[in-house]
Chains A and B, each alone.
Chain A
């Protein structure tokens, strides 16, 4: 059960690394200096490719491949965009990185920017993370002063600067093309693809978009070498990943583990402290709220991309929401349906109309007004919504409910028959008192 702290560097240092000096003393910016002094941009790109680092935002697409899709000799400007719109229920890892290791993100962006030939990067941070935006803003100022951002950074001939751009409250802006729309001053509605952002992204220019955790992993890769990084974890899931554990566990928090070397059981019961005494594990959404739910029989699944796929779910953002046997799966599904209805941008018909319909059916069930045929109706709607839209939001709305109905059908039937009264929540005071 190796917990290996790479990206959460402040944990190794034992203190937040919000001052440039502290970060440098903790080994920060060594990678950038060395890369700019010794490596061609292509070599940095190759290192990223070779490391096998996969996008940590949710889709898990290899970062090096994504970066290599940018046209090499396009006359257009190129952009790097950091997706810091972390809004996936159950996910709070980027928050910790930005709050505690802001320079690691900035350094990762400078390295990625150098690799693709971008002169400007944007950090699109969700509006709610005001405190974290202030930490980042201060770090950006310090980095400029320290020569790590701006003209000819780290005494090289490479110039790169970062603009912090703040969202205003919309989950959909975490979808990369919606983020670009929002950053361009439009309503944050996803774009039709192709063209992909690598070809026509921000302002129709070639753009690389990556999540905070992905970019914050870059300095370690350049510092230790791609081969070292790739040797961690499994062949298709190299490196470490931060899991955010929440819900009915005693020690909710972020845990950085080597992919494939830790099981879900270890994450929940050992790292996150397990459940309250007398409670039994019931369900877990291991990759944020948009992934199919797992049940007790899946506890020994190793945490890596392929193993979780094999178990019928996704690693996603690594936001692991745990529910014990006090919780009702229909109520949980309803709460998720409510979220997706609220956050649907309204562009595609199936999502705009379907998420609300799902919510209303589940609400009726919970209220004791469900009908047995609603179960078949739900199943029909899954197929009419899932896979039918521009972006993955609707798929994310369907997946947890569809899987819940499959794994916990008996409970759905019981709720249709009896409704579902609000259960007692897990309350901190009670936990502290040892109840």
Chain B
């Protein structure tokens, strides 16, 4: 945990790259790749040319703020270093009296109308304008006129406050909205000194990545409403961590004050292979729902011995849980999709040792048909930058793995073609060639996809784990296409946060449910796993009827903690350490950004205590030791340690794949009626529903139909419908959406309490559903 390094905003370059040229900088001969902007080249050589509008990630420089003026031999006057590429033999000075005067001049003009309310400004202390004024600016202001006034602050959205008086018109936020996120809901309005950032009059700033403008703002014009007046930068400690809300694994920075997590921001040093510094609004604003005092947190251990439930202290509850497991005849262990590598590894040790070889499984997709795809050359997200074709096959990354949307849009801006194949309308359709397939018929798109791949030199195929697991014929065809192309690579759009980590530990997705359904399990230990809210929930509910004892290790209250004989409160992902493996196979460290919640303990610690109570020797006294043990015994993690993972992680080794099965044969959906298409809304899952900051944006469960389909089924005008699959049934609000194709029932998953997961089988085999109007 450290003080936060100032965000530098310069692009990282390699001065020793093969195409580097030498040029003269303040009298020193230095090198940088030809074409590098002078600001970035100078930064790499330890010289700060001050900037405001320049931000390498947003796009081509615009040269607006005029802060980076430098002297280049042969050019008349001063020139903007942000837009001047390095050339061989160039002679550059950043320290002449003229340059100093220009820097001083721009700062004096920027400050002329900038309010001096730094003492009450959230940006104070980490403000580039403040820092650069200190270093390059005027000692005094000669501006005696009254400053420009705007009513302040303005609520730009429920999460962003806008103070227009502080804005220095660097255009970063607007360019982010227009060019990077392309929501285009933030624009520059008016002209000249009156100009300002604005949304459409009367409308909030809406998008999925809006919070990034807070990180981008070089002054206190755009600030976070949840963080407003909460802490000063010098009061907080920062921990580089990783987001656990989806499998992308965006690198985050957690700010802690007095033991509480105050905010989540993008890293000052972005991870170019993953998120490049961008976060989605869920990743940025959902943390409030995991605070120690958040209503949904499991705050005390719960014991249910016979009836009524009672709260317990953790130690007594661990003893009770150990006794339950010890006395069980047929215990089993279920590991949830966001359990860390350490927790899952300790669960494995527990199952194999003290629990006498108890069956252990992860809650997730078996995906035997995916092995051939996973075995092909993989790509990191950052490599999309160099792709000439990006194919998205199935899924809806904009909602499920949000930052992928930004990386795909960037690839498009850099000239890559984009193709989206699948049954769902997605946000990426706007920048893509769309191969719309009938629900359950992804294979239809393969011929066209093959032609596009053939025409590309370096294509990357993003494929959706759940969709392709449901359609083994499409998975096999796609694997053949990618394998046949020498330059093609693949990247899995995974369903589960740490699915890749659990697979790499060798944890299967099958075995426990099947045993439980056959009454071969009498005690089930659930580690961050709630099978009652996961796909397959209906089957799990039947299975749990036959399980006498459930022990749940969980961060939040949920159906499984309410069903458990012993519920053990675990630290949240913001309080705990551990390793998560992203969908691209990158192992990255969670670091705590909040004090441990009272009454809870780290998941690994609870598992170690259970093992100890069950007679195992104490083997690991920290999560670090647990990870090292995993690394020494699991091939995919060989050679990795907390130290080697550093702050930006390492790609793990290949995961031993089970022999593929079921490949090639089209999977006939089970049941009758419309094909079920599972939908995920970005603000529709439990993490969004728990977060007060996202209250305005959260979306609920629903089933959506094309209007013609609704007409055929006689559902026009129905508000709620009963949806039934061979697996289970639930009642959902009905929505009509002309953008949806016919032939499918589009069911939004994830909303707490909706029961929609009960419609799906645990292996995500395709199903059909019938719909009838509900009372």
Q: Could you list which residues of chain A lie within 8 angstroms of chain B, going by C-beta atoms?
A: 170, 187, 192, 341-350, 352-357, 360, 364, 377, 380, 383-385, 387-390
Contact = CB atoms under 8 A, between A and B. Distances in A.
Contacts of B194: 346
Contact of A384 (B67, B105, B195): B105
Nearest to A188: B191
B384 to A, nearest CB: 23
B108 interface: yes
Nearest to B190: A346
Interface string B20-46: 000000000000000000000000000
A390 B83 CA distance: 11
Interface stretch (B56-64, B267-275, B600-608, B739-747): B56-64
Which of A353, A355, A383, A390 has the most chain B CB within a 10 Å cutoff?
A353
Nearest to B106: A349
Nearest to A344: B192
B651 interface: no
B659 interface: no
B102 A388 contact: yes
Given A187-B188, A348-B66, A377 B142 contact: yes
Contact of A192 (B61, B67, B109, B143): B61
B65 interface: yes
Contact of A170 (B61, B77, B191, B193): B191
Top 8 closest pairs, chain A to chain B, by CB = A384-B105, A346-B195, A353-B109, A344-B192, A192-B63, A346-B192, A360-B145, A356-B193
A343 B192 CA distance: 7
Contacts of A387: 77-78
B113 A353 contact: yes
B69 A388 contact: yes
A360 B195 CA distance: 18
B66 A342 contact: no
A384 B192 contact: no
Contacts of B78: 387-388
Given A192-B63, A344-B193, A384 B108 contact: yes
Which of A343, A388, A390 has the most chain B CB within a 10 Å cutoff?
A388
A344 B191 contact: yes
A389 B64 CA distance: 8
Contacts of A187: 188, 191
Contact of B110 (A341, A349, A355): A349
Nearest to B196: A346
Interface string B94-112: 0000000110011011101
B168 A349 contact: yes
Nearest to B101: A383
A346 B66 CA distance: 12
Contacts of A347: 62, 64, 169, 171
A390 B63 contact: yes
A345 B143 CA distance: 22
Nearest to B83: A192
Interface in B45-80: 61-67, 69, 77-78, 80
Interface string B670-710: 00000000000000000000000000000000000000000
Nearest to B194: A346
Nearest to B104: A384
Interface in B99-154: 101-102, 105-106, 108-110, 112-113, 142-143, 145
A350 B63 CA distance: 12
B66 A192 contact: no
Interface of B: 61-67, 69, 77-78, 80, 83, 101-102, 105-106, 108-110, 112-113, 142-143, 145, 168-169, 171, 188, 190-195
A133 B335 CA distance: 73
A378 to B, nearest CB: 11
Nearest to B102: A388
B200 to A, nearest CB: 15
A387 B193 CA distance: 19
B169 A341 contact: no
A353 B83 contact: no
Contact of A352 (B105, B108, B192): B192
A20 to B, nearest CB: 39
A341 B193 contact: yes
Contacts, number: 89
Nearest to B62: A192
Contact of B109 (A170, A342, A354): A354
A383 B77 CA distance: 12
A294 B105 CA distance: 28
24 contacts: A187-B188, A192-B61, A341-B192, A344-B191, A346-B195, A347-B62, A347-B169, A348-B66, A349-B65, A349-B66, A349-B110, A349-B169, A355-B192, A355-B193, A357-B145, A377-B142, A383-B105, A384-B101, A384-B106, A384-B109, A385-B109, A388-B69, A388-B78, A390-B63
Contacts of A344: 191-193
Given A350-B105, A360-B145, A345 B191 contact: yes
Nearest to B77: A387
A187 B64 CA distance: 14
Contacts of B106: 349-350, 384, 388
A390 B142 contact: no
Given A192-B61, A357-B112, A380-B142, A352 B195 contact: yes
A390 B64 CA distance: 7
A353 B66 contact: no
Contact of A389 (B62, B66, B145, B171): B66
Contacts of A346: 169, 190-195
Contacts of B113: 353
Contacts of B188: 187
B112 A388 contact: no
A12 to B, nearest CB: 41
A388 B101 CA distance: 11
Contacts of A380: 142
A128 to B, nearest CB: 16
B191 A353 contact: no
A343 B195 CA distance: 12
Contacts of B190: 346
A341 B145 CA distance: 15
Contacts of A192: 61-63, 80, 83
A187 B194 CA distance: 14
A345 B195 CA distance: 8
Contacts of A355: 192-193
Given A342-B192, A344-B193, A346-B169, A388 B62 contact: no
Contacts of A357: 109, 112, 143, 145
A388 B142 contact: no
B358 to A, nearest CB: 65
A388 B195 CA distance: 20
A294 to B, nearest CB: 24
Contacts of A170: 191
A190 to B, nearest CB: 10
Contact of A349 (B77, B101, B109, B191): B109
B191 to A, nearest CB: 6
A97 to B, nearest CB: 28
Contacts of B192: 341-346, 352, 355-356
A389 B77 CA distance: 11
A407 to B, nearest CB: 24
Nearest to B171: A347
Contacts of B193: 341, 344, 346, 352-353, 355-356
Contacts of A353: 109-110, 112-113, 193
A187 B69 CA distance: 25
